[in-house]
Amino acid sequence: MNNRLMLGNVVFASIIGAPVTAAASTTAAPAVVRALQCGHAIDTIAGKLLGPTTIVVDDGRIRQVFAGATSPPGAEIIDLSSQTCMPGLIDSHTHLSMQFSASTYSDEFRWNLADRVLRAPLYARRTLLAGFTTVRNLGDRDNEVVALRNAVNSGFLPGPRIYTAGRAMGSTGGHADPTNGYRMDLAGDPSAIDGIIDSPEQAAKAVRLHYKLGDDLIKIMPSGGVMDEGSNGENPQMTLDEIKAVVATAHDYGFTVAAHAHGAEGIRRAVLGGVDSIEHGTLMNDEDIKLMKERGTWYVPTISAGAHVAEKAKIPGYYPPQVAAKALAIGAQIATTAGRAYKAGVKIAFGTDAGVYPHGQNAVEFVLMVKAGIPPMTAIQAATVYAAQLLKHERELGFLGEGKLADVVAVPGNPLQDISLMTKVSFVMKQGTVYLRDGKPLPEADGN
């Protein structure tokens, strides 16, 4: 086989190799070998649409990928000849234990942690069946998504592969403060254990607490936000020294750092502080773009969330007045910023802020990205190979190649001609297990 891959240090020449021979198949148990016969496949590294392609899956990994429809003797053949196959999709910005609604702000005073925990498996299932086999979860209330991640990893629940940030980190009264807007006798004074920091020393401690609690990465809030009850959605809310302390400590512990930021100054400080990604980035200016390109900072636009909150804010009473005002002023601008950032050459990874809008609708982001001026292939790469690079798991995710985890999704047709097909995923395989086939969930999608 002439498959040669390059992602990082490995050279990629083509995912098309020689057909599998009978001799090659004798080392695998036929009962666990599957051959996905795709009408087309997307080479996410080269950015090319390939013709008929067979993907051989064995023990949760891709064993071979080659042109045509020849399969190993004894393999279970899955006919996807009318569909386009691609790697499992990655959403780089989700919130799996929450979903905003008109009652969210009053629910905060009635719900217990158990109310969120009981809903999270449903949101995870919807995400998986939408074709998203991996997510970054960028913020929860009480580190509950660690438990969800562990349950999914153990096979107890169906869901995407989860990398979670636990509680988001920010300053007192800022976008990360879970008591922002509460009356004083309820608000108290959240501290580092709650993700609230007001000095570089507290920042370092908060990161170490995340490590102790088993989180996978760090999320900070260096600017105001839309969905909290603060009055400003764009002001800077962390000092440069605080951001640098977070990043230095996080990188010591092997964490990447994602930074929620709408305002230009918050974006500038976050990039100068060394964060790995800017989330939303709504009001980034030319200086921010220049800095992000120079430093290789990723951008995760979340156009879906901006569009959703701007629309819901038009409904009287759906959000509190101050939230509605910010949603109208900020939300609709994200699409324009994403288009500018793409044209300027900023690295873009796919992310949606699912939870701010309903889970399972993640793929609408593709449609909005293309509408913003991002080519369909680039949008798909952003949700596969580029998102895998942001996660620093590009050796296992984001590409259909030998040795990769067998995360494969398919859509009924050519999404490069009609990007809306990404919202109609017809086949989902995660690590060799099929959860959706012919557009219908299989028993595996219901869990053990």
CATH code of residue 412 = 2.30.40.10
Q: Verify that 221 and 103 share a domain, yes or no.
A: yes
Tokens of 120: 């999270």
Q: Is residue 21 scored above 50 in pLDDT?
A: no
8 class by beta-carbon count within 10 Å (0-12 exposed, 13-18 middle, 19+ buried): exposed
Q: Looking at the structure, do residues 435 and 411 belong to the same domain, yes or no? A: yes
Is the domain of 274 the same as that of 299? yes
Specify whether 26 is located in the same domain as 142.
no
Q: Which residue has the tokens 């997307």?
A: 42
| Residue that terminates a domain, selected from 391, 416, 431 | 391
**What domain range includes position 113?**
89-391
Q: Does residue 265 sit in the same domain as residue 322? A: yes
pLDDT higher than threshold 90 for residue 393 = yes
Residue 20's pLDDT band (cuts 50, 70, 90): very low
Predicted confidence band of residue 385 (pLDDT cuts 50, 70, 90): very high
Which of 345, 367, 391 marks a domain boundary?
Answer: 391
Residue 8: inside a domain, yes or no? no
Per-residue exposure over 88-106, b if at least 16 CB sit within 10 Å of its own CB, e if not: bbbbbbbbbbbbbeeebee
Spatial distance between the Cα atoms of 151 and 167, rounded to a whole number of angstroms: 19
**Percent of the chain scored above 90 by pLDDT?**
78
Task: Please check the confidence at residue 60 and state whether its pLDDT lies above 60.
Answer: yes
Is 48 in the same domain as 125?
Answer: no
148 lies in some domain: yes
Model pLDDT, residue 11: 29
On whether residue 14 sits in a domain, the answer given is no
* 423 in the same domain as 331: no
Give how many domains the chain has, as a whole number: 2
pLDDT tens profile 222-242? 998 888 777 777 889 999 999
Cα of first residue to Cα of last residue in the chain, in angstroms, is 38
Flag whether pLDDT at 290 surpasses 70.
yes
Answer whether residue 4 shows pLDDT above 70: no
3-state secondary structure of 391: helix
Query: The CATH number of the domain where 281 resides is what?
Result: 3.20.20.140
H/E element, 411 = strand 408-411
My answer on whether 232 and 346 are in the same domain is yes
Cβ–Cβ under 8 Å, residues 48 and 6: no
**Domain C-terminal end among 355, 372, 391:** 391
Residues 30, 50, single domain; the answer is: yes
pTM for the structure as a whole = 0.91
Asked whether residue 49 is assigned to any structural domain, the reply reads yes
98 in the same domain as 80? no
Q: Is residue 6 part of a domain?
A: no
In a domain, 367, yes or no: yes
Report yes or no: 352 and 307 within 8 Å, Cβ to Cβ. no
Q: Are residues 200 and 66 in the same domain?
A: no
- Same structural domain, 251 and 104: yes
